[in-house]
Every structure is written in structure tokens, then in C-alpha cells.
Amino acid sequence: MRKGIEYVLLTILMLSTNLLSAQNENKPSDDELMGWFREARFGMFIHFGASTSEDYLVEGGNKTERYENSVKNFNPVDFDAKEWVRIAKDAGMKYIVFTTKHHDGFCKWDSKLTEWDVMDATPFKRDIVGELAAACKEAGIELGFYYSIADWYHPEYDATYSNRNGFHFNPNPDADITKYMDFMYGQIKELCENYQPKLFWFDGSAGFRNKNRKRLLGQQEMMDLLNSYGAISNSRLGDDDTLEYVNYLSMGDNMTPSGNIGIDFESAQTMNDNWHFTAGDDNWKSAATMLKKLTNIAGNGGNYLLNVGPNSKGVIPSASKERLKIMGNWLQKNGKAIYGTKAGPYPYEFNWGSITQSTEGNTTTLYLNVVDWPKEGVFKLYGLNNKVEKVSLLASGNTLSYKTKFNAAAGVNVISIDVSKTAPDSYVSVIALKIEGAPKMDQTFLQQQDGTVILDAFRATVHDKDIVANKALRPLDQRLFTVMKKGKGIMPARGMTVGLNKEGEALSWDFRILKPGTYKVAVLSSVSEHDKWKSDGSMRVSVAGKSVENKLIEQERWNNERMATEMKCSVAILGKIKINTLGMQTLTLEVTSDFNNETPNIINVQLLPIDN
């Protein structure tokens, strides 16, 4: 018979007390725990285990039989921990996160708490985690462990807590989840004591999202345990997006935030479409795309955890190695713009690239990571109000001339930097802008250098049809990043979008115009590449005393580089609007007729300049 919640909580309390009573007194500080993570900015994720086996990939048999056969025959004869670490180091990566135990429960270390591990259940009989830990220590690379809370193999893991609709290899009607929690805590302690990891990357806690079930995880007790060993935890320990217990936020898979979200975060992303090695998946992202992501994520104050999937022999694919080498070469020349930097002083996105910053004494260096190089030979930075001491190219050190002018009509400072008409780097060119003191930069939405205005829905002010008590006015302030929430009024969704579907619901933004002109009004929504656009309602945009209203009819799709590869931006053009006045403007997007077939998940509103 399953135990009541009182018994469960008592068990967790007793367990955590036994483990932690002697450890809490010397808990490290936040800087001691997180310092290396904030310095690193770039890490390697490695998905490797039963599902990379040839036996798992062979058709036939049910899922359970395929997993069991793959573990039984798991034999990565070409596995070389030092080679994995060498590839990571040559790529400029500062840490590795390895899948010690995925959802299948198969452990890649010599665990004394189960025989479902690499030493007891396979012909390989080598401690993969131990060899990787030794190689990382020798090379000066920090090591972290992915650990799945869900376990489809363990007999005490109640299938009702599964992250895959109750899936379990051998469901046990008498399973006692508290006994599994004892097992999990025991394995975490075993990993900490045997291998001294600096990070735990929890996953598979979807079955614990109910607030009473979440308490089963013992979030505070787990964090006290990890921190006492000098390890940090990601937010998937119970989807702790507000960071009440854990050390940093894990974005949704393949997700990149559209600006500085104000907290330590990590964006885990694949190089192709799969996490584990999958034969035939040749949809590789280019090195240029991944360098753009690296600079963008660092510019927002986060870490880029880039995944590789070694094949069944334990070899990282050549396509991964080739791209990682290019990234490493770029970092050798431009690493100062990434390692140990903080988020740039502008909280929103630039369509030309990103800004990172570092401080030394009374001087701050802003690194302008330029992806879209200006062909006119002048790079313009709006809104920075500090005295400029020097401008140069980071890679070469060549000094660049510049001038500063205050645009009184727009109310904003403009720094114009003379540059070559050809980008000095074929991937990302970095301009080092040295200024006096801490940066003082305009915190409003600013028109971009090319005249575009991008208004991020996650940063909008929410105008619910009815007043919703105790709800933050901005989706960003609701701190929901990884779990879709449903509730009264306008709520943010997992993809950092905002769903609007009822007449009277609206979003608004204040922004600054520097160039008058006529603009196409584009509303961008998130959609899967395989889904047809079915939205049937209408929206109106009002700005500068003018309005344009129309059905949200999809006219084209753009790649959504902030989400997984199968997600796209559905673009609807509402019409055209002319803005004659420079300076501050307010734009409102409102629903004028209900959407019944589909709720548009708004990414942003863009004003696209029409070339006269």
C-alpha cells in the first residue's frame, strides 16, 4: 500500500537529517559555488548510454526489450575519456556535463546501489564516469553530472510519477516512491564522494509538478547536500524557475532568451536534431549559427551548453568535431568577449548581435559581438552615455576612430564608429569599446541601427481583460520559463511567448524612435514547422496616433533561432503605419475579435522600415 504524504515527508526529513547534520555548518557562499560557472560561459553536454547502442536502434521489439538488449550488449570499445576532454578543450569549452543516468535508469559508473550499471550489466565493465572524471581533472576541465529523477527501471519508482505518461519497463503496483527517494539520495551522495562533480543537471521531474508531489523531492535538503560538497544544481530539480532553492535556471531544451532575464541561466542545445547519437540525422547547425548563439547567450548573462552524441563505439562524430574546432579557433582570438563576462548593459535584443562586458578598476570594456556587419562602413551604438576612452577590434587590436553626438530630437546619445565595409571575421567580429566607469545605457526599447523596431512580448506590459489580483504586469516578472502555465488572464508560455486570444486582451510597450518613416507592422507568433496556421481572430496595433487592424493571416515563416529546430516564426503583416515624430512612443497590440481555433503565442511585434 502506498504511504500517505505525512509518512513521505517524515522519511525525507529523516534521510536529509542523517546526510546533512554534519555538513551544513560549512556551506560555501554563492560566489564560491557559482564563480567557476559564471567564468566558464561555454560547456559540452554529452548524451551517451543505452539509446546509442546499435541494439536500441534496431527495429523490432517493444521499447523495454530494446533498452534491455542495448544495455546487455553495451560495449563502446573505442571510448577514450581523454579524447572527449581534448575535443572539449580545443573547442574552448570550460566544463563538461555527462549523462550518468538517463530516464532508462542505466548507470555509467560502478554504483554500489544497483546492478543496472556499466560494471555489472554490460560486457564493457569500465567505469566511464570515473575515467571521465580523471581526464577532466588532468586537463583542468570542470565536470558536471546529468542525473534523471525519473527512472523507468527501478522497481520502487512508481510509474504514476513518470515523465512519459506513466511509462515504466516493469510497473510495480506496490512501488513505494519514498524508497526510490532513498535510492536517489544515496546515488547522489555516492557520485559526490567518488567523483567530486561541480554541477548536477537534474531532468525528468515532470511527474512531480503537483505542489504536494514536488515536496517529495526535498528540494532544500537536496540543495544542502549538493552545496555541502561544492556542487551546484540546475532548476529542473522540481522546475524551480524562481530559483527559490537551486543555483541557476535551465532554459527549455534548445531555448535562448530574448534578452537579459536577470538571473544565472544555462541554455542546453543540440548540434543537430537529437540529443543521443542517431544515424542519419545530418541536420547539423553551422559553426556560424552556434557562434552567434554563444555570443548571444553570453550577452544575456548565461552559459551555452552544447551537446554532442558519441556513437555506439564511444566516438564523437566528425561533423561535431569539425564545428567545435572552428568555435575553438574563434575563441582563441576573441575569448575575452566571452569568458568571465557579464550581460551587456542593454536588457533587450539587438538584431546585429550582442554586447558582453567586463570591468577592471574604473574602466569597463563593452564587447560588441557583431554578427550583421554594417556594409556602409559605420557602426552605430545608441543610448550609451559614458565617456569613451578607446575603440578597437578585439582580435587584431587595431584602433578605430569614432565620434559621439547627442540626438536632441530623439533624446538619445549616438556613438558612430568608423569600420571597414567588409567584416574582419567571417563569423562574429568583436569591437572592444572601452568606457569610463560603469555603463549608463538607455533602458527603453530602442530602434535598431537598420531602422527596425523589435518589441519582445515577454517584456511587454500586460493588459488583461479583467483585473487579475496579485499578478505581475510583465510576463518576464512572472518567472515562468520552463513549464506552461494556465490561469486567469494573459499568461506566458514555455517558449517565452505570450498567448493572446480574447477580445480586450492587450500588450503595450514604450520605445524610442530615432528615424521617422513608414513601417510594415509585423506580428510574429511561434508555430511548429509541421502545423498549419489556423488563427481566425483579429488584432489591432496603435502607435503615434494611428492604428492598423487586420486578421492574423500568416504570410511567411522565419526560422526561430531561439527555439528547437522544428519551431518557426509565423509572420503576419497587419498593414503599414507612418511615424513622423522622433523620441518616445507607445505601441499597443490588442485583440479585437476572439481567436477560436488557435491561440497565437506572440513572440514579438516588429516595425519593419519600408525603403523609400
How far apart are alpha carbons 142 and 136 in whole angstroms? 6
As given in the structure block, the three cell numbers for residue 312 are 555506439
Q: With a cut of 90, say whether residue 7 has pLDDT above it.
A: no
pLDDT in tens, 552-566: 999 999 988 888 778
Neighbours of 512 (CB within 10 A): 20
**How much of the chain exceeds pLDDT 70, in percent?**
95
The torsion angle over the Cα atoms of residues 83, 87, 90 and 94, rounded to 10 degrees, is -100
- Nearest Cα neighbor of 237 from 257, 219, 258 is 219
Q: With a cut of 80, say whether residue 286 has pLDDT above it.
A: yes
* pTM for the model: 0.94
As given in the structure block, the three cell numbers for residue 332 are 582563441
- Confirm if 350 and 382 have CB atoms less than 8 A apart: no
Mean pLDDT across the stretch 517-540?
A: 93
The letter for the amino acid at 43 is: G
How far apart are alpha carbons 132 and 542 in whole angstroms? 58
The boundaries of every CATH 2.60.40.1180 domain in the chain are: 344-443
Residue 387 phi/psi, 5-degree rounding, is -70, 130
**How much of the chain exceeds pLDDT 90, in percent?**
82
* CA-to-CA separations, 73 to 20, 99, 113, in angstroms, rounded: 39, 19, 21
Residue 324 phi/psi, 5-degree rounding, is -65, -35
How far apart are alpha carbons 107 and 100 in whole angstroms? 6
Neighbours of 211 (CB within 10 A): 8
- Nearest Cα neighbor of 500 from 441, 457, 447 is 457
Q: What is the mean pLDDT of the chain?
A: 93
How far apart are alpha carbons 437 and 102 in whole angstroms? 47
The boundaries of every CATH 3.20.20.80 domain in the chain are: 5-10+31-288
As given in the structure block, the three cell numbers for residue 430 are 568583436
Q: With a cut of 60, say whether residue 6 has pLDDT above it.
A: no
- Nearest Cα neighbor of 387 from 431, 349, 433 is 433
pLDDT in tens, 63-112: 888 888 899 999 999 999 999 999 999 999 999 999 999 999 999 999 99
* Angle (nearest 5°) at CA 341 between 337 and 346: 90
Torsional class of 47: left (φ above 0), alpha (ψ -120 to 50), beta (otherwise): beta
Predicted local confidence at residue 3, as pLDDT? 46
Residue 82 phi/psi, 5-degree rounding, is -65, -35
**pLDDT confidence of 149, banded at 50, 70, 90?**
very high
The boundaries of every CATH 2.60.120.260 domain in the chain are: 453-609
Inter-axis angle of helices 318-334 and 81-90, to 10 degrees?
A: 40
Predicted local confidence at residue 541, as pLDDT? 98
Predicted local confidence at residue 57, as pLDDT? 67
Mean pLDDT across the stretch 500-516?
A: 95
Predicted local confidence at residue 400, as pLDDT? 98
Neighbours of 105 (CB within 10 A): 21
The CA-to-CA distance between both ends of the chain, in Å, stands at 75
Q: With a cut of 50, say whether residue 1 has pLDDT above it.
A: no
Predicted local confidence at residue 51, as pLDDT? 82
**Which runs of consecutive H residues, i.e. helices, occur in 361-423?**
none
Q: With a cut of 60, say whether residue 8 has pLDDT above it.
A: no
pLDDT in tens, 219-255: 999 999 999 999 999 999 999 999 999 999 999 999 9
As given in the structure block, the three cell numbers for residue 88 are 572539449
Which contacts (CB < 8 Å, 24+ apart) does range 545-552 have? 546/577, 546/578, 548/521, 548/574, 548/575, 548/576, 548/577, 549/574, 549/575, 549/592, 550/574, 550/575, 552/523, 552/525, 552/595, 552/600
* CA-to-CA separations, 315 to 46, 67, 215, 592, in angstroms, rounded: 11, 20, 40, 56
- Confirm if 360 and 342 have CB atoms less than 8 A apart: no
How far apart are alpha carbons 32 and 268 in whole angstroms? 23
Superfamily of domain 344-443: Golgi alpha-mannosidase II (2.60.40.1180)
Predicted local confidence at residue 15, as pLDDT? 54
Give strand pairing partners of 541: 548, 589
Strands 302-308 and 265-269: parallel
The torsion angle over the Cα atoms of residues 53, 59, 63 and 68, rounded to 10 degrees, is -40
pLDDT in tens, 426-443: 999 999 999 999 999 999
Predicted local confidence at residue 10, as pLDDT? 54
Predicted local confidence at residue 481, as pLDDT? 87
Measured in whole angstroms, the distance separating CA 511 from the mean position of its chain's CA atoms is 26
How far apart are alpha carbons 533 and 527 in whole angstroms? 8
Q: With a cut of 90, say whether residue 530 has pLDDT above it.
A: no
Q: Is the dihedral of CA 193, 194, 197, 203 positive or negative?
A: negative
Report helix, strand or coil for 24.
helix
Mean pLDDT across the stretch 473-491?
A: 87
Give Dmax (Cα) for the chain: 76
Predicted local confidence at residue 225, as pLDDT? 97
Strand residue runs (E) in 448-593: 453-456, 461-463, 498-499, 506-513, 517-528, 538-543, 546-551, 556-559, 567-579, 583-593
54-58, 358-362, 583-587: segment of lowest average pLDDT: 54-58
DSSP 367: E
How far apart are alpha carbons 602 and 490 in whole angstroms? 11
With cell 566528425, the residue in question is: 318
Q: With a cut of 90, say whether residue 274 has pLDDT above it.
A: yes
**pLDDT confidence of 597, banded at 50, 70, 90?**
confident
With cell 569539425, the residue in question is: 322
Predicted local confidence at residue 594, as pLDDT? 95
Question: Topology of domain 453-609, per CATH?
Answer: Jelly Rolls (2.60.120)
Burial-class residue 119 by CB neighbours within 10 Å (0-12, 13-18, 19+): middle
| CATH assignment, 5-10+31-288 | 3.20.20.80
